[in-house]
Amino acid sequence: MRWEEAVRLSQLLANVPSIRDLHLNFMCEKCLDLDKLPEGYDIAWTSFFLEAAPYLKEMCITVWDHWCEIVIDKEERKVLGYSDKTNVEWMPSAPDGFRHHNLAKLTIYGFQPDDNFIGYIRRVMETSTNLEEISLYDKKMLPCCEDLDPKINKVAPSMLYPQNIEEQELVRKQVTEGLVIASPHVIIHFRS
């Protein structure tokens, strides 16, 4: 594989469905883009990339279900290798707490102010000593998803995304309250 090609773990690991331990070493990676993580799943597992990529400066996560392409038939999901498990456990290898010294920017597309996202941002802030900026975007919505199958039971971008300054300040408080931050000068942006 050439250095400029994207690595797709799903393809790389397609023939090893029962893998238990995976050791990755991204020593030279500076930017990581995790695209189309399914909604409703815990995203804490993505923290292992911080440990595997000590020189990473920017991490971008897109949490998004392309609703008009969601596979809802249980048998078809099984054939395609979908998992019903929504939580992947991750334990840091350093028993006294892991610190990332290069991450400067975290971007999340599909942000919702729930325990999953708030807890994740807090963990990244606790471990990243040089974090400067967090940019949070609402869910994506495409025109092709507007006429949905009622069985999917999804609606347009959430009204939960902070719409005004008061709501944004409330989320900032939820993220930072009682937090011992490794990098105290983090700016949280709410982008549209």
How much is the pTM? 0.72
What pLDDT score was predicted for residue 27? Answer: 54
| 127 membership: H or E segment, kind and range | helix 115-127
Chain centroid offset of residue 154 CA: 20
Nearest to 60 by CA among 91, 96, 103, 89: 103
Chain centroid offset of residue 25 CA: 19
**At residue 170, what are phi and psi to the nearest 5 degrees?**
-60, -45
DSSP state of 185: T
What pLDDT score was predicted for residue 62? Answer: 87
- The answer to whether 179 and 126 have CB atoms below 8 angstroms apart is yes
Chain centroid offset of residue 81 CA: 21
**Which parts of the chain have pLDDT scores under 70?**
1-30, 32-33, 35-41, 65-72, 77, 80-96, 141-159, 182-183
What pLDDT score was predicted for residue 133? Answer: 97
Q: How far apart are CA 22 and CA 95, in angstroms?
A: 18
The three-class DSSP label of residue 136 is strand
Pairing of strands 133-137, 105-109: parallel
Q: ∠ CA(3), CA(125), CA(87), 5° rounding?
A: 75
What pLDDT score was predicted for residue 46? Answer: 81
Q: Which residues pair with 33 in a beta bridge?
A: 60
Q: Count Cα atoms within 13 angstroms, Cβ side, for 81.
A: 8
- The answer to whether 99 and 127 have CB atoms below 8 angstroms apart is yes
